[in-house]
Structure 1
Amino acid sequence: SRHLKGTGTSINPEIMYREPANAALDGNTVDKDQEQARFAENTIRYQASLEFINSRVNGLIRALKGE
């Protein structure tokens, strides 16, 4: 996957930054298209994770009920 590998711990996380490709005339280095694409990718991954967890929990509940 394309995650940045950090060396910090959850108690002391390492802060990481992306290198900006180009700065706008106003000094803004945020690439809106890249940020939107990454946001969409995170949204899809998050939704898939929720569906997986929901399916597992429902399966466990059905098993406990003997269905």
Structure 2
Amino acid sequence: MAISFDKAFGLHPEALMIRDRRAQVLSENIANADTPGYKARDIDFGQAMKLAQARQSGSVGRTHEKHFAISSQVGGDTLFRNPDQADTGDGNTVDIHHERNAFMKNSMEYQASLAFLTARISGMKKAITGGGQ
């Protein structure tokens, strides 16, 4: 009997990739906090997960051969964030406190997803090897 990793892991690998990309975007925001004209960006995690779920279920597809294929890569969904603070005069929209908080929350959620996948893999390994030693 074959193991279906898609069924075993669900959307958690996709969630890790999205969280990883979001960490990159947030760290770019933090690094450019003092860059004049830099616009803060973010990834809408909920929307990215909906797209991942649609890709996994196969409901997103091309209806015509000349239509553009939907990319399976994360990153095309980065958006500019509406600034929480008034313009300081240099056009930079990064709020360093917001970015740090978002980065920390994203990191904790990444760790939670990683712990879930680790537990799932451990359980599968025990099921395959017998687990009782």
Which TM class, normalised by the smaller chain length?
Answer: 0.7 to 0.9
Residues 40-59 of structure 1: pairs in structure 2 closer than 5 A: 40-59=104-123
Q: 2:24 maps to which residue?
A: none
Q: Partners of 1:51 and 1:4 in 2: how far apart? A: 20
The normalised TM-score by structure 2 is: 0.41
- Identity fraction in percent: 32
Deviates more, 1:31-40 or 1:11-20: 11-20
- Mark the runs of 5 or more structure 1 residues left unpaired by the alignment: none
Query: TM-score scaled to structure 1, two decimals?
Result: 0.74
**Which digits, 9 at most, give the CA deviation of each residue in 1:10-41, with x for residues without a partner?**
52944421111322243322000000010001
Moved segments of 4+, more than 4 Å = none
User: Greater strand share, 1 or 2?
Assistant: 2
Check if 1:16 corresponds to 2:79: yes
User: Is the counterpart of residue 64 in structure 1 residue 128 in structure 2?
Assistant: yes
RMSD of aligned alpha carbons:
2.7
